[in-house]
Amino acid sequence: MSAGPTVRPLLTVRGVHRRFGTGPTAVQALRDVSFDVAAGTMVALVGRSGSGKTTLLNIIGGLDRPDAGTVLVDGTDVTALDEDGLSRLRREKVAYVFQTFGLIPVLSAAENVGAPLRLARTPPEERERRVELLLELVGLADHAQQRPGELSGGQQQRVAIARALAASPRLLIADEPTGQLDAETGLSVMALLRGVVESEGVTVLVSTHDPVMIALADRAIRIVDGQVDGRFEGQVDGQVDGRATS
């Protein structure tokens, strides 16, 4: 489970607790969750609905704060950052892909992909070049001027992935990215993410419960009732060809 002595993990999660609500109705979403993720790998978070996957991803990405524990992304303690620090983190190091794509409807695919670059004040020429490159990477170069409403679900998710990669993040968090897609399209999206890990060197943390998708990951971490299930993790490690760091 721990990273090897010579490789510095990109993501370190230590002793994370998260509880929602108070009193007898309180729900303990995460209990003492700890793991590391090496750079340039694709890790699948596996678990049933309500097991705490999304809560964990939100805490890692700085969208939520843990009650206890620390999260280090590329050496930055996410839990210690203020709002501006988190904004900077999201602009520079962490990107998200959501189940619902999260595109801006009135902007074209190219403009959606360029949105993070606008926020990063990237010069227009460089922005256009990068957008073109990314749309080509996700296979949508011919759909650059189409709006999200004119694209299929799979195409929209590809645009979302391109947008997530626009600012060259170190960590890409994908929460059920294939949840609204059919199996075939979902597989192609996962394959795209796999390809991105290979080609861009990005670390991808993806939550899913589809065994086919899990098979594409370097490593799987199972969350059961808010805790990491070490038994499952060991099994998957063996299945995925030793690419996992542990």
Query: Which residue type occupies 147?
Result: R
In the list 7, 26, 106, 212, the residue contacting other proteins (rule: CB under 8 A) is 106
In this chain, which of 35, 42, 51, 90 binds other proteins, going by CB under 8 A?
Answer: 90
Strand 203-208 to 171-175 pairing: parallel
Residue 83 makes contact with other proteins by CB under 8 A: yes
100 near other proteins (CB under 8 A): yes
- Give yes or no for residue 170 binding other proteins (CB under 8 A): no
User: In the complex with other proteins, which residue's Cβ is closer, 175 or 237?
Assistant: 175
Beta bridge partners of 155: none
Q: How many residues bind other proteins (CB under 8 A)?
A: 34
Q: How many CB atoms lie within 10 A of CB 71?
A: 23
Q: Least CB distance from residue 217 to other proteins, whole Å?
A: 22
Phi (first) and psi of residue 97, to 5 degrees: -130, 125
Block residue for tokens 């090897």: 4
To the nearest whole angstrom, how small is the minimum distance from the Cβ of residue 69 to other proteins? 16
H or E element that contains 9: strand 9-20
Contact track, other proteins, 33-72, x by CB under 8 A = ---------------------xx--x--x-xxx-------
Under the binding rule (CB under 8 A), the answer on residue 92 touching other proteins is yes
Separation CA 71–CA 181 (nearest Å): 31
Which is nearer to other proteins, 167 or 240 (by Cβ)? 167
For the chain, the distance separating the N- and C-terminal CA atoms, rounded to the nearest angstrom, is 5
Task: Please tell me whether residue 99 binds other proteins under the rule CB under 8 A.
Answer: yes
Query: Rounded distance, CA 97 to CA 199, Å?
Result: 18
Using an 8 Å Cβ cutoff, are 213 and 206 in contact?
yes
Applying CB under 8 A, the span of 33-41, 101-109, 200-208, 222-230 interacting with other proteins comes to: 101-109
Pair of tokens at residue 111 = 């403009």
125 touching other proteins, by CB under 8 A = no
